[in-house]
Amino acid sequence: MSSLFSAGKTDWSIIGPALIQAVQETLYMVMLTLLIGGILGMILGCILWSTRKGSIFSNPALYKVLEFIVNLVRPIPFIIFLSAVQPLTITIVGTSLGTTAAIFPMCIFCTMATSRIVEQSLINVDYGVIEASYAMGASRLKTLFWVVIPEVMPPLVLGYAFIFIGIMDMSAMAGTIGGGGLGDFAIQYGYNKFNPIITWISVGIILVIVQCIQQFANFLAKKLLQH
Amino acid sequence: MSKEAIVSFVNAKKTFKTKGKEQVAVRDVSFDVKEGEIFGIVGKSGAGKSTLIRLINALEKVDSGKVLVDGKDITKMNYSQLKHIRKDIGIIFQHFNLFDSKTVFKNVEFPLKIQSKELGLSDGERQKTVLELLDFVGLLGYEKHYPSELSGGQKQRVGIARALATSPKILLADEATSALDPETTVEIMRLLKKVNKEFGITIILITHTISVVRLICERVAVMSEGEVVELDTYKNVFKNPKSDAAKSLVNVFKILEGDGSLHE
Ligand SMILES: Nc1ncnc2c1ncn2[C@@H]1O[C@H](COP(=O)(O)OP(=O)(O)O)[C@@H](O)[C@H]1O
Ligand SMILES: [Mg+2]
């Protein structure tokens, strides 16, 4: 303990394994959130888009309710949202501490954010192609899955990269409730121990992960946009 | 013996309500389109032409009246009956409405996939059909292209191939050449004429200029403010327009085509 307290001195035999564990925890939280929240957000986003007035399953009442919920949750600062849903987290996950417990509020937040991005992408689809699809005999669901979603793949891919960065941000905050990960690592071994090198190492790793994802998304979107 | 009616409007009426205001788009329209003819619908923009043509494939539903397609009332159909009859009604649009994320091949294949149960084609037969259609519209070799790589005329050719994929009896064309230059317009009209001649497909063509009608239509309906104010052969309407709307259209045509002039 005392050796870690000495500023500037970095004991790699302790910090090395802790760093590796932190990276693993971050990736676990982020990937699982992206998977669950990303899929639920996609579904919610499609429902939002298609229940808009004049859209394919036009249902203004349902739309208003869903929009209200999404708009209610999204502006809450995540760190406050974390403690606000703590009772719910305990009910569903069994505990409010640890990496898995952190994923629950992250997924809720991710679902809300993703739904809005999906909805915004879908809004840009020209109604003409939807009509063309109907005119050929396609049902509304087939039109959604075979026409509308494929048409917005490039902006969706970029939207998901944006979401990914948001999840990295959330995962760092989730670290404070025992979620672990790089954010927690940076605070515990860097900030609290007056060791900026550790903090900067965490920052560097986060930047590398984010950049990799962003570059991959750009590449994919460009590939999809080539036509 | 006169040919049979393939599309009949019987007191068809359609009103749109937007923000409490009522806009009559089609007001008590009755007439027949006969099997195998090329029928034109002309009128100023806002006259109700698009709404009228969209009643035929039920993209819009009538408020009252009937629309018979091949003898069946399309206004009373449920989704599966509609799907079945939509196989027989192709449509092409002013802005083509191609699927930008799909290749030319996939665009033309799309209706075959949607109607796969009705058509019962194997993968190989489907592929063969698509290639035959692309050959027919003069786009063989463009299978792997995306719509954004094509000119306007080529896009409309893809639109035509896609509309013909399920071997329809009727082809609807909503301002199909309004976004194209005059030369391309003539090319596309020539292609539509070929569609009509080779396959005997009835074509119902909407346009806001009489010059397009002149190219291929036998009979024309002139629309104004939701009503058909005149219906006759193209020749009669052109030589002896009776309604104000028809007179105005013919007059504009003459000015634009050189018989008249705005010079003093
Ligand atoms: N979906 C719609 N909602 C409200 N009004 C509409 C709609 N479609 C058409 N209209 C109105 O109906 C009238 C006829 O339109 P349309 O059939 O598009 O005419 P045209 O094709 O001859 O230009 C216009 O006044 C138009 O504003
Ligand atoms: Mg129109």
Contact yes or no for B86 and A135 at CB 8 A:
yes
Interface predicted TM-score (ipTM)? 0.93
Report pTM.
Answer: 0.90
CB B204 within 8 A of CB B34: no
Mean pLDDT computed over A66-83: 92
The Cα–Cα gap between A112 and A114 comes to 6
Q: In this model, does residue A51 exceed pLDDT 60?
A: yes
- Ligand 2: centre distance to CA A54 (Å): 19
CB B115 within 8 A of CB A137: yes
Q: In this model, does residue A5 exceed pLDDT 70?
A: no
Per-residue confidence at A3, pLDDT binned at 50, 70, 90? very low
Give pLDDT, residue B259: 65
Mean pLDDT computed over B252-260: 78
Tens-digit pLDDT profile for residues A83-112:
899 899 889 888 888 888 889 999 999 999
Give pLDDT, residue A16: 86
Mean pLDDT computed over A41-50: 98
Q: In this model, does residue A123 exceed pLDDT 80?
A: yes
Between A12-51 and A196-225, two packed helices, what is the crossing angle to 10 degrees? Answer: 40
Give pLDDT, residue A1: 43
Kindly report the nearest CA distance between residue A52 and chain B, in angstroms.
15
- Cα radius of gyration rounded to whole Å, chain A: 21
Mean pLDDT computed over A175-203: 85
Contact residues on chain A for B148, CB-CB shorter than 8 A: 227
Report the run of H or E that residue B37 belongs to, with start and end. none
The Cα–Cα gap between A108 and A110 comes to 5
Dig out the tokens for A67 from the structure.
Answer: 């929009």
Ligand 1 and B122: CB distance under 6 A? no
- Ligand 1: centre distance to CA B25 (Å): 6
Closest by alpha carbon to A146, among B148, B58, B106, B155? B106
Q: Nearest chain B residue to A137 by CA: give it.
A: B83
Mean pLDDT computed over B1-16: 88
Closest by alpha carbon to B11, among B57, B58, B52? B52
Give pLDDT, residue B104: 98
Q: In this model, does residue B2 exceed pLDDT 60?
A: no
Contact yes or no for B114 and A136 at CB 8 A:
yes
Per-residue confidence at B251, pLDDT binned at 50, 70, 90? confident
Q: Any residues with CB less than 8 A from the CB of A135 and at least 6 apart, and which?
A: B57, B59, B86, B89, B91
The Cα–Cα gap between B33 and B219 comes to 9
Q: In this model, does residue A4 exceed pLDDT 50?
A: no
Give pLDDT, residue B13: 96
The Cα–Cα gap between B131 and B125 comes to 10
Between A86 and B143, residue with greater pLDDT = B143
Q: In this model, does residue A15 exceed pLDDT 50?
A: yes
Residue in B93, B114, B162 nearest the CB of A137: B114
Ligand 1 and B18: CB distance under 6 A? yes
Kindly report the nearest CA distance between residue A142 and chain B, in angstroms.
8
Give pLDDT, residue A227: 61
Residue A147 contacts B, CB cutoff 8 Å? yes
Q: What angle do CA B55, B59, B61 make, to 5 degrees?
A: 55
Q: In this model, does residue A147 exceed pLDDT 90?
A: yes
Closest by alpha carbon to B29, among B68, B1, B57, B59? B68
Q: In this model, does residue A29 exceed pLDDT 50?
A: yes
Dig out the tokens for B213 from the structure.
Answer: 């009608």
Residue A53 contacts B, CB cutoff 8 Å? no
* DSSP state letters, B170-207: EEEEESTTTTS-HHHHHHHHHHHHHHHHHH--EEEEEE
Pocket probe for ligand 1: among B9, B13, B16, the residue whose CB has the most ligand atoms within 8 Å is B16
Among the ranges given (A143-147, A155-159, B2-6, B18-22), the one the predictor scored with the smallest mean pLDDT: B2-6
The Cα–Cα gap between A86 and B143 comes to 56
Percent of all residues in chain A with a pLDDT value above 70, rounded to a whole number: 95
Helix, strand or coil, per DSSP, at residue B222: strand
Q: In this model, does residue A179 exceed pLDDT 70?
A: yes
Contact yes or no for B147 and A224 at CB 8 A:
no
In order of start, what are the domains of chain A with their CATH numbers?
15-225 (1.10.3720.10)
Ligand 1 and B25: CB distance under 6 A? yes
Average pLDDT, chain B: 93
Dig out the tokens for B241 from the structure.
Answer: 């327009």
Tens-digit pLDDT profile for residues B13-44:
999 998 889 999 999 999 999 999 999 999 99
Residue A132 contacts B, CB cutoff 8 Å? yes
Q: Across-strand partners of B213?
A: none
Per-residue confidence at A33, pLDDT binned at 50, 70, 90? very high
Per-residue confidence at A9, pLDDT binned at 50, 70, 90? low
Tens-digit pLDDT profile for residues B207-242:
988 888 888 999 999 999 999 999 999 999 889 999
Contact yes or no for A137 and B93 at CB 8 A:
no
Contact residues on chain B for A126, CB-CB shorter than 8 A: 95, 97
Q: How many CB atoms lie within 10 A of CB B181?
A: 12
Among the ranges given (A2-11, B70-79, B156-165), the one the predictor scored with the smallest mean pLDDT: A2-11
Closest by alpha carbon to A111, among A174, A170, A186? A170
Q: Pairing mode, if any, of strands B219-224 and B38-42?
A: parallel
The Cα–Cα gap between B133 and A175 comes to 60
